[in-house]
Structure 1
Amino acid sequence: MSLTRKLTILTTSTVFFVTLIAAGWGFFVSDNQLEELFDAELAQSTRIVQGLVEHLSTTQSEDQLSETLTKTLELPDDIFGTGEEEEGDEILPGGAGHRYERKIAFEVWSPDKVPVLDTLKANDTHNVQPGFAWQEVAGFQWRTFTLKDDVTGYWIRTAQREDVRDELSQEIALGNVLPFLVILPLLAIAMALSIQFGFQPLRKLEKPVRNMAPENIHPLDESLAPKEVVGIVQAVNGLLRRLDQALERERRFSADAAHELRTPLAALRLNLEKACEDNPEQYRDLIQSVDRMVHLVEQMLLLSRVDAGTDFSPEYHNLSAILEQSIADVVPLALKKDIEPVLEDDAKEALVSCNVALINTLMRTLLANAIQYSPEKTAVTTRLEPSADGYHISVCDQGPGIPPEERERALSRFVRLDQRKGGGAGLGLAIARRIAELHDGHLTLSERPDHQDGLCVNVWLPARPKKSRLGRS
């Protein structure tokens, strides 16, 4: 899992759980505060009725007071409804009031506790106590507030259904919490984008490392690194410098060793030829061994030059003409085994930006390998065809082939597989692949298209390299 994804998941999860906890706590606090507010409103309503009773009791008898309070405070609808009428708008049609009014009840008793107004119909005058209380009436829980008027001696009680209080408190509490829940996905997206933006400097460091070639190792720009990873960048730069020095020593050793061996080997071969003038068969195996050593030295020199990438300048050339010349160069080798080199050119005018000497070396290496491992009186087919933004070259022989699991290893340096017998040193395919890579191309091995015995070496070259590595000094 990437660090970006891990941080995004951790931070988003943390914010999610913290927001849920905050929302739950906010809901709990809001619900309790609203209960306190409803109790205060209940007490206030009771005191309003108390003031009304004080005013009317001075001019009206109990019967008249009961009639006046009933007309004023008793609603025509049943306060013990099932709640189905609560669906829809809160405002009643025609300005008749609010639907929650149906869930509020008033009771007034005379000083001797004779009912003057009784919309609740609790019938519990014997158990009336001042203050707040919970009471069950007709299957509903009611919150009540009762007080006694010290002036008139009347008892007044206001009651509100619990389900109405809960509905109101939950709606208001959810209204306070809901914005947190709605904004949570937006916050998660914003955090993910912020983390992505914060890792941009690391991605800028990744690109030069990914595009760095072995022949062009250079330190990373520390100014692009955030302060937290400057130490890592410095350590990587130290490693890159040591790696560049090691590769340079390896290239110099290969080149120096090859140069030092070339002259003694040439002298040794010349002396052997003179020594075996009278009896050439006696020294034939020895001369062949020297020839293999000379070939190895030449390949090591070529590999060191290719790795260094020096003195090569790419120009636009006709790839078809290069292939024709490469095939002509190996015709003498093919004639020794009665092998027919075949060129199938579907591109004709295939212009590519390349180094002619390197591409010619690549093709001669592939053709020589194909001829070496092909049976006598067979054909080696070279095919050139256009592909996306470049050209595809395939060289197919009819030899023993290479198993799929061994093909990648066969492209490594100094690797020779048992079934690919011959006098090589295991550098030919490695050199060919390196030349393809220098041209921003690639080289792979595959079976023949007709699934017959043999091997196909496939090379793809861009018409124009994206970033030429040639000409490095």
Structure 2
Amino acid sequence: MSLTRKLTILITSTVFLIASVAAIWDFVVSDHQLEELFDAELAQNTRIVQGLVQNLAPDQPTNQLANILSRTLALPQPANGDSNGDDEILPGGRGHKYERKIAFEVWAPDGKPILDTLPMDESGGLKPGFAWRSLTDYRWRTFTLQDPASGFWIRSAQREDVRDELSREIALANVLPLVVILPLLVIGVIISIQLGFRPLRVLEKPIRNMAPERIHPLDARHAPKEVAGLVQAVNGLLRRLNQALERERRFSADAAHELRTPLSALRLNLERLATRHPEEFDSLTESVDRMVHLVEQMLLLSRVDAGTGFHAEPLNLAELVEQSIADVVPLALKKQIEPELDNQCVLAMVSCHSALINTMMRSLLANAIQYSPPGTKVTTTMREEAGGFLVRICDQGPGIAVEDRERALSRFTRLDQRQGAGAGLGLAIARRIADLHKGSLTLGDRSDGQSGLCVEIWLPASDRKTLTAPVRPE
């Protein structure tokens, strides 16, 4: 799992947990405070009725007081045109439907009910204070007090469902902003993490695009302080790696240069001696030739690795392939090999270094000729493919096993079934040249099922305007 995803999950989970705890806490606290507010309102309603009773009780008989209180505290009754919704104002200014969930009761000092809208059982006697009472299908919250002056008992009651409904709505109104803000907060966290890691991605790009021949330190000016030490350590490693590679390249080049002159002199002396006894010096001359070939390959590999003098220019790949085939014709004739070209692209423009491409093609063609038995063909096909051009060189030799092909492209690797005079650098150099041109080199089998090896070189086109030759009739 990436660090970005891990941080996103961790921070988002933490934010969600904190927001959830805050929402639950807010809901519980709000619900408790609303219960306190409803109780205070219930007590206030009871005291208002108490004041009304105090004003009326001294001057009114009990039955007349009951009529006055019934008319004054009468609840709105259902009428035609009322909707079924609870939270609505009744038509005609008759009040609010929530009033039907509120009740008042008044008892005389002797316990005789004067206003009894809720037929509750009071056999146990009236008791002052708050209480929960059950009646029919509902529970009621009640507050009861006794007027000290008149001795009357007054009670106000609220249905539990209206208290719960209002509590939920008010608490939800407090919690809902947190629920809405939470997704926005998560999005903000994700964006912030992405922006925070952008400097690291800026550092990643030069490392990803860094080639062995162009190793350079990273620009630490825009790196965060937290990774400044890491950038310095990487730069130190890159410097040491560059120095090691430079020493290796310099050693290879120096060794090859030092060997070239004595080998040339040795070969010249052998040629002079061979005029007298040629049969005695043939094998020695071949050994010197192999050493000269190795030195030339080491020099070429050193130049290719260093990337020095590489100046690409638009050239016709078809002409370069034809020239390379012409260069190896003497070698093919000497071994009775027939080189064959199937070029489906008359004009194939690629951005390349002509000398390197010629070296690569000649090396691959020479390998194909060397490992093909006499009397066979080495076929070169060329076609346009995937925004570039594919050159396929196939021989009829023993081929290379699938499990050995990647190893065959390594330096100084010679497989048992492909023994020759080389040192195992030909395919490695060819692949390095293809990589240098942003192309690829792969090994495969022949499509006709015969034994042999096919080397495929793909190079990107520099100009999409290409001419395709007509297909030859069978």
Q: Which TM-score applies when normalising by structure 2?
A: 0.91
| 1:127 match: secondary structure | coil
Pick one of 113, 120, 126 that aligns with 1:122: 120
Contact 1:105 1:119 in 2 (8 A): yes
Q: Aligned partners of 1:263 and 1:370: how far apart in 2?
A: 30
Q: Aligned partners of 1:369 and 1:224: how far apart in 2?
A: 50
Pick one of 305, 308, 316 that aligns with 1:307: 305
Q: Aligned partners of 1:280 and 1:118: how far apart in 2?
A: 140
| 1:106 match: secondary structure | strand
Residue deviations 1:274-298 (CA, integer Å, cap 9, x gap): 4443443333333222221111111
CA displacement at 1:320 relative to structure 2: 0.9
Q: Aligned partners of 1:104 and 1:288: how far apart in 2?
A: 117
Residue deviations 1:418-471 (CA, integer Å, cap 9, x gap): 222222111111111111122222222223334443222222222349xxxxxx
The corresponding residue for 1:42 is 42
Contact 1:113 1:125 in 2 (8 A): no
The corresponding residue for 1:71 is 71
Amino acid of the structure 2 residue aligned with 1:182: V
The corresponding residue for 1:15 is 15
What 5-or-longer segments of structure 1 have no aligned partner?
A: 79-84, 466-473
Pick one of 249, 252, 261 that aligns with 1:251: 249
Residue deviations 1:52-104 (CA, integer Å, cap 9, x gap): 222332443221222232233343659xxxxxx97565334554433322222
The corresponding residue for 1:82 is none
> What is the RMSD of the two structures over their aligned residues, measured on CA atoms?
2.1
The corresponding residue for 1:461 is 459
Q: Aligned partners of 1:88 and 1:441: how far apart in 2?
A: 77
Contact 1:135 1:143 in 2 (8 A): yes
Deviates more, 1:310-319 or 1:13-22: 310-319
Residue deviations 1:19-67 (CA, integer Å, cap 9, x gap): 1111111111111111111111111111122122223324432212222
Shift of the 449–128 alpha-carbon distance from structure 1 to 2, 3 Å rule, reads farther
Contact 1:107 1:157 in 2 (8 A): yes
The corresponding residue for 1:374 is 372
Task: Give yes or no for the alignment of 1:2 onto 2:25.
Answer: no
CA displacement at 1:238 relative to structure 2: 0.9
Q: Aligned partners of 2:432 and 2:257: how far apart in 1?
A: 21
The corresponding residue for 2:101 is 103
Q: Aligned partners of 1:133 and 1:348: how far apart in 2?
A: 102
Q: Aligned partners of 2:249 and 2:203: how far apart in 1?
A: 28
The corresponding residue for 1:154 is 152
Pick one of 220, 223, 227 that aligns with 1:222: 220
CA displacement at 1:180 relative to structure 2: 0.9
Task: Give yes or no for the alignment of 1:62 onto 2:75.
Answer: no
Deviates more, 1:379-388 or 1:146-155: 379-388
CA displacement at 1:321 relative to structure 2: 0.7
Q: Which TM-score applies when normalising by structure 1?
A: 0.91
Shift of the 366–132 alpha-carbon distance from structure 1 to 2, 3 Å rule, reads same
Moved over 4 A (4+): 85-89
The corresponding residue for 1:332 is 330
CA displacement at 1:108 relative to structure 2: 0.6
Residue deviations 1:229-266 (CA, integer Å, cap 9, x gap): 11111111111111111111101110111111112222
Shift of the 70–63 alpha-carbon distance from structure 1 to 2, 3 Å rule, reads same
What 5-or-longer segments of structure 2 have no aligned partner?
A: 464-474
The corresponding residue for 1:202 is 200
Q: Aligned partners of 2:317 and 2:348: how far apart in 1?
A: 5
Amino acid of the structure 2 residue aligned with 1:35: E
Q: Aligned partners of 2:411 and 2:111: how far apart in 1?
A: 111
| 1:394 match: secondary structure | strand
Contact 2:349 2:461 in 1 (8 A): yes
Shift of the 68–316 alpha-carbon distance from structure 1 to 2, 3 Å rule, reads same
Q: Aligned partners of 1:435 and 1:423: how far apart in 2?
A: 22
Amino acid of the structure 1 residue aligned with 2:177: P
CA displacement at 1:135 relative to structure 2: 1.7
Task: Give yes or no for the alignment of 1:442 onto 2:440.
Answer: yes
Task: Give the percent of matched residue pairs that are identical in Structure 1 and Structure 2.
Answer: 68
Amino acid of the structure 2 residue aligned with 1:242: R
Amino acid of the structure 1 residue aligned with 2:41: E
